[in-house]
Amino acid sequence: MTNTTKYIFVTGGVTSSLGKGIIAASLAKLLQGQGYRVTIQKLDPYINVDPGTLNPYEHGECYVTEDGAETDLDLGHYERFLNVPTSQANNVTTGRIYQSVIQKERRGEFLGKTVQVVPHITNEIKRRVQILGKSGDYDIVITEIGGTVGDIESLPYIEAVRQLRWDLGENNGVVIHLTLVPYLSAAGELKTKPTQHSVKTLMESGVQADILVCRTEHNLPKDLRRKLALFCNVKEEAVIQSIDASTIYDVPNLMLEEGLDKVVLKKLGLKNSTPDISIWNKFVHRHKNPKTEVTIGLIGKYVELQDSYKSILEAFIHAGAENEVKVKVESVHSEYLNEDNIKLKLGHLDGVLVAPGFGERGIEGKITAVKFVRENNIPFLGICLGMQMAVIEFARNVLEIKDADSAEMNANTSNPVIDLMEDQKSVTDKGGTMRLGAWACELKEGSIVYDLYNTKSIKERHRHRYEFNSNYKEQMDAAGMVATGLNPDTGLVEIVEVSNHPWFVGVQYHPEYKSTVANPHPLFVAFIKAALKKKSKK
Ligand code: GLN
């Protein structure tokens, strides 16, 4: 393999939401399939130190890594495609860059110099880009630059790319520019002008794109590719079309057909062969050829946003393919759920997932949903806040502790069955201070989870401040809500199951973050299996 790490930079032009993350992950998949060790990094040009403090309405789901970084949801795509964990180093924001530079300045490390965007901020960006490369773990690092070329906040990043290409030398860095080729239906034509302008904007910052990936709704004819190549200073073979796909999981093969991997490797002076993506293709085949269908209710308060439960939706796709079943997800807004409409909204479902979340809005609807599925033997998976709502519901309706609540929603309840974790009590800062990342959990023999994980010790990722209050453990246990997963060091309850129910599991952690194409999460796989069983009994 190579001695020097090679760098691929992915920039975006014309508009946001073109799917840079999916293109980066698809390319990485093809390179990984050729035996290269690849990782992907996302640079986000906003001032928040990380997306952990961002509302899902602003930024979609916050993804959490093994080492506890709260990151952009694109890192979820990277892990799902590559089946390789990411880390703190894989997501860097402008806020974090400035934070480190300012800390260095306060420590006097700049020796009295004036601290400036160039070179201090750009140096810090360059250092962050190269951390992964210098680890020795990767042959190729793909760096995706968030935002759109021409944005004020992207400028230092583009400047850092310009300098890095120079520093790295010939054949060690390549720039892929993702753009849009819109189709004007009135004229019946695909238009190249926005791409030409976007490439020109990039050039004004001193960066020449090597490869254009053009998002389009229609096939790009040869003459149009030739025109783009001519006007944008790239080879014709480096004009790659990225046509709208019915699923993101088609994109690696679409990129393979277009030869994106081949052009990239040629530019980097690396050997090109046919990628082995057979496990991937087997998954895609199963995903597209389901034998039957189950309908799962996703109960949450951000259901109108397609990105806010991204990892959960993708985990359903993986688990569906594994079971050869199409998982139809019906989103149910918890704020509008009540005793009067619950049967109408949930009665027909084969399984219900109550989603994670924060704050009071919509929680009574979640509790009502848990009661309905518990009493009607509908398979249930509660994740984080969803698990906490299941505990409250059980305490209120089975143990008859009527004011049972979470201290998050009602700080004054006399029965905080969900309470603030001890080590959270002194925490005042909101950013990066939750219980984050992978924690160990020991499973109880004979439980549903013990069976499906097929092992006693697991590690799962967390993101929360509140926990099952162990003072209620004995009572709950005796009444049929059993703690089947405990943290071996602290005794914290991480999993609950209801014993006289066909499949009722609540987990304090987020299994969805660990589900990948190559490794569908066992909890989701078993949940879908339970839903299938429920359906077959109808
Ligand atoms: N709000 C809850 C807590 O902080 C649950 C968090 C979550 O669902 N991720 O404990």
CATH code (residue 491) = 3.40.50.880
Is residue 512 flagged as an active site residue?
A: yes
Q: What is the 3-state secondary structure (H, E, C) of 173-185?
A: EEEEEEEECCEEC
Which domain does 136 fall in, by range?
6-281
Q: Please tell me the predicted confidence (pLDDT) of residue 2.
A: 43
At which of 281, 311, 335 does a domain end? Answer: 281
Examine the pLDDT at 4 and tell me if it is beyond 90. Answer: no
What dihedral do alpha carbons 128, 50, 81, 272 form, nearest 10°? -20
Confidence of residue 216 (pLDDT cuts 50, 70, 90): very high
1 pLDDT higher than 50 = no
Task: Judge if 311 and 263 occupy the same domain.
Answer: no
Q: Is the pLDDT of residue 61 over 50?
A: yes
Q: What is the mean pLDDT of residues 155-179?
A: 95
Span 394-416, average pLDDT: 96
Angle (deg, nearest 10), helices 251-258 and 260-268:
60
Average pLDDT over residues 2-27: 90
Pocket test for ligand 1, best of 388, 418, 427 (most atoms within 8 A of CB): 388
Greatest C-alpha distance within the chain: 75
Rounded Cα–Cα distance for residues 302 and 295 (Å): 19
DSSP 389-402: HHHHHHHHHTS--T
Distance CA 147, CA 43 (A): 9
What is the per-residue pLDDT for 537? 85
Mark which of 225, 250, 281 sits at the end of a domain: 281
Write the CATH number for 182: 3.40.50.300
Distance 472 CA to ligand 1 centre (A): 19
CA 142, CA 37: separation in Å to the nearest integer? 11
Residue nearest to atom 5 of ligand 1 (CA): 385
Q: What is the dihedral of CA 47, 53, 57, 59, to 10 degrees?
A: 50
Q: Is the CB of 31 under 6 A from ligand 1?
A: no
* Average per-residue pLDDT for the chain: 95
Q: Mean pLDDT across the stretch 47-59?
A: 86
Question: What mean pLDDT do residues 144-152 have?
Answer: 93
Is 441 marked active-site? no
pLDDT value at residue 366? 96
Cα–Cα distance, 229 to 221 (Å, whole number): 13
Q: Find the mean pLDDT for residues 225-253.
A: 96
User: Could you read off the pLDDT of 259-304 as tens digits, one per residue?
Assistant: 999 999 999 999 999 999 999 999 999 999 999 999 999 999 987 7
Residues 520, 500 share a domain: yes
Which atom, in ligand 1's list, is nearest to the CA of 359? 1
CA distances from 344 to 332, 339, 369, 397 (A): 11, 10, 11, 21
- Examine the fold and report which residue of 261, 281, 301 is the final residue of a domain before the chain moves on: 281
Query: Do both 324 and 243 map to the same domain?
Result: no
Instruction: Say what the pLDDT of residue 97 is.
Output: 97
pLDDT one-digit tens code per residue, 454-487: 999 999 999 999 999 999 999 999 999 999 999 9
Which residue did the predictor score with more confidence, 305 or 355? 355
Cβ of residue 29 lying under 6 Å from some atom of ligand 1: no
Residues 265 and 373 in one domain: no
pTM for this entry: 0.95
Q: What is the mean pLDDT of residues 158-166?
A: 96
Host H or E run for residue 353: strand 351-354
Residue 287 falls in the annotated catalytic set: no
State whether the beta carbon of 70 lies less than 6 angstroms from ligand 1: no
Q: Is the CB of 357 under 6 A from ligand 1?
A: yes
Q: What pLDDT score was predicted for residue 52?
A: 87
Residues 31, 38: contact at Cβ < 8 Å? yes
**Has residue 1 been placed in a domain?**
no
Task: Note the pLDDT of residue 17.
Answer: 84
Query: pLDDT band at residue 3, thresholds of 50, 70 and 90?
Result: low
Q: Which helix (H) or strand (E) holds 294?
A: strand 292-300
Q: Is 344 annotated as a binding residue?
A: no
Asked whether residue 383 falls in the same domain as residue 255, the answer is no
